[in-house]
């Protein structure tokens, strides 16, 4: 993860493979991302810029046009 994008590995979906130039929204939960030790949700809306197929997973690099950080409330709903 960087200030402008993210690289993640995902299970490939055979019905809708990832394509360079596709628009995508991601939500990544970081278990200890909050400075107080709790979880942090990082949301990214962007464009797929690289696809790296591999057995059982696919790596995708996404250039994020918008990043949003959320700290879930104690009831589990992000605020």
pLDDT in tens, 19-48: 999 999 988 888 776 667 778 888 899 999
Mean of the per-residue pLDDT values for the chain? 82
Question: Residue 78's pLDDT is what?
Answer: 53
Q: What are phi and psi of 55, to 5 degrees?
A: -60, 125
Residue 47 domain-assigned? yes
In 3D, which of 54, 40, 69 has the Cα closest to residue 8? 54
Residue 79 domain-assigned? no
Cα separations (Å) of 23 from 9, 28, 31, 32, 59?
17, 17, 26, 28, 15
Residue 76 domain-assigned? no
Residue 77 domain-assigned? no
Residue 9 pLDDT more than 70? Answer: yes
Question: Residue 49's pLDDT is what?
Answer: 97
Q: Which of 34 and 55 is assigned the larger pLDDT? A: 55
Tally of structural domains, the chain: 1
Residue 78 domain-assigned? no
């Amino acid at each position: 993860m960087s200030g402008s994008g993210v690289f993640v590995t995902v299970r490939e979906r055979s019905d809708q493979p990832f394509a360079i130039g596709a628009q995508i929204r991601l939500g990544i939960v970081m278990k200890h991302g909050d400075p107080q030790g709790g979880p942090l949700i990082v949301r990214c809306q962007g464009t797929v810029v690289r696809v790296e197929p591999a057995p059982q997973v696919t790596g995708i690099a996404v250039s994020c046009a918008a990043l949003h950080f959320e700290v879930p409330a104690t009831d589990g709903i992000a605020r």
